[in-house]
Amino acid sequence: MTVEATIEMNSQPVSPEDQFRADLYSLLGSLLLEVPNQTTLDQLCQLQGGDGEVGSAVNALAQIAKSMDPPSVEREFNVLFIGMGRGEVLPYASYYLTGFLHEKPLADLRNSMRSHGIQRKDGIPEPEDHLGSLCEMMAGMITGGFGQVMPLQSQKEFFNAHIATWAAHCFSDLEKAESAVLYAPVGSLGRLLMEIEQESFRIE
């Protein structure tokens, strides 16, 4: 985790549907923020998706994970996200919305984080508007990871303000990236989740 609560935790029950949303956000966050190790690859191999596009993306991720090993995943991760100077994909809100890093979208996010009792953990070098960190924040809001379960309206407002305008585009870029193997279905899964969330929040 790259973020943490600034207030005392207060455990609350979460519906199965919301737990599923949170699990998807957590999975995406972890895969975007750090290179999967063998334990993570083994866990990915065990994933089983249901019917529909999301299930197909989960199954594709599990299948590809079976053919991967940590060195190959690390090479892929480095080319995609680090590269020589920059990776194929720069998963930051500021970059997608302004073309530069550390811009107004990051400042706006930090203000929103403070109002929700969220802060970046000490020692984390990534700016908070990294897509992986934003996925972690959504997961925490859904499950009460930042003190309490956030009302759906608060989740909607946070999503619309900081994620909806660019994340699906970023996941689509990852899905189609030249070097993406394991991360192609990660991009598919993320894009589909963003589309589902946008539609769900639209009709609320």
pLDDT score for 104: 98
CA distance 139 to 96: 22
DSSP tally for the chain: helices H, then strands E = 10, 2
> What is the Cα–Cα distance from 141 to 158, expressed in whole angstroms?
10
Contact (Cβ atoms closer than 8 angstroms) between residue 2 and residue 120: yes
CA distance 86 to 153: 36
Tell me the C-alpha distance between 24 and 173, whole Å.
19
pLDDT for residue 36: 97
Domains along the chain with CATH numbers: 3-203 (1.10.3480.10)
Please report, in tens digits, the pLDDT of each residue of the chain (204 residues total): 787 767 555 557 889 999 999 999 999 999 999 999 999 999 999 999 988 999 999 999 999 999 999 999 999 999 999 987 789 999 999 999 999 999 999 999 999 999 999 999 999 989 999 999 999 999 999 999 998 899 999 999 999 999 999 999 999 999 999 999 999 999 999 999 999 999 999 986
Three-state secondary-structure class, residue 89: coil
Two structure tokens written together for 89: 């994909």
Compute the distance between CA of residue 82 and CA of residue 40 in angstroms, rounded to an integer.
Answer: 20
pLDDT of residue 1: 77
**192-198 LR contacts (CB < 8 Å, sep 24+):** 192/53, 192/54, 192/57, 193/21, 193/24, 193/25, 193/28, 193/54, 194/163, 194/164, 194/167, 194/168, 195/168, 196/54, 197/21, 197/159, 197/163, 197/164, 198/159, 198/164, 198/168
